[in-house]
Chain A
Amino acid sequence: AQSVTQLGSHVSVSEGALVLLRCNYSSSVPPYLFWYVQYPNQGLQLLLKYTTGATLVKGINGFEAEFKKSETSFHLTKPSAHMSDAAEYFCAVSRGGTDSWGKFQFGAGTQVVVTP
């Protein structure tokens, strides 16, 4: 079984400050890990993903995340927040293999508010 825990349902950051969103997962097999962003009344947009290879992955809009197997974490960071980063962020885990391909388990989400 898989599960995803996002610490903090709401995060408030100042414009220009570091954005840090925490995600921990549990999985009995090597996971595929994703971060998605959702703007109000819209679908999900892929920010970045980790499947294999380099554990530090860079995504769009200046975001990056590091897969730490020992900590079962996949935290999302951005060095300098922009007003346009205000949105809901979801961490998700998927397993490879034919029986679970494409099925995502999502975290509860973290609402990011950016203050001037």
Chain B
Amino acid sequence: GAVVSQHPSWVICKSGTSVKIECRSLDFQATTMFWYRQFPKQSLMLMATSNEGSKATYEQGVEKDKFLINHASLTLSTLTVTSAHPEDSSFYICSAGPPGGDTQYFGPGTRLTVL
């Protein structure tokens, strides 16, 4: 199947700082990517849709000014958690799929811990 990578795989930061997470589609172009978060022992919740060349669309309840998404190329989307707080600590996972396909491929996830 298609490959989606994320970087970093884990990050620890101090409260109040910003953290950037990258999501890359390695063997296909993706005009759309998706960002999920997963709290311990819970399911994945869709946060936002990243659209290449246009603004991201956010799910209800997700603060767009806190979770900045940039989709600057057809293979890269970034999620920046701004002014991070301990409650932002979570597992962030992105997904992408080849255009016209019916399957999403998930990245390996990024574990964010905010101290």
Contact = CB atoms under 8 A, between A and B. Distances in A.
User: How many residues of B sit at the interface, in one of the four size bands?
Assistant: 20 to 34
A103 to B, nearest CB: 6
Nearest to A45: B106
Q: Is the interface of B mostly helix, strand, loop or mixed?
A: strand
Given A42-B108, A42-B109, A43-B106, A104 B43 contact: no
B93 interface: yes
Interface residues of A, number: 23
Given A32-B102, A108-B43, A109-B43, A102 B32 contact: yes
A86 B46 CA distance: 25
Contact of B104 (A51, A94, A109): A94
A74 to B, nearest CB: 15
A44 interface: yes
A70 interface: no
A46 B96 CA distance: 13
Given A41-B111, A90-B43, A90-B44, A104 B102 contact: no
A6 to B, nearest CB: 9
Interface of B: 1, 4, 6, 32, 34, 42-46, 49, 91, 93, 95-97, 102-109, 111
6 contacts: A41-B109, A44-B93, A44-B106, A46-B1, A103-B46, A108-B42
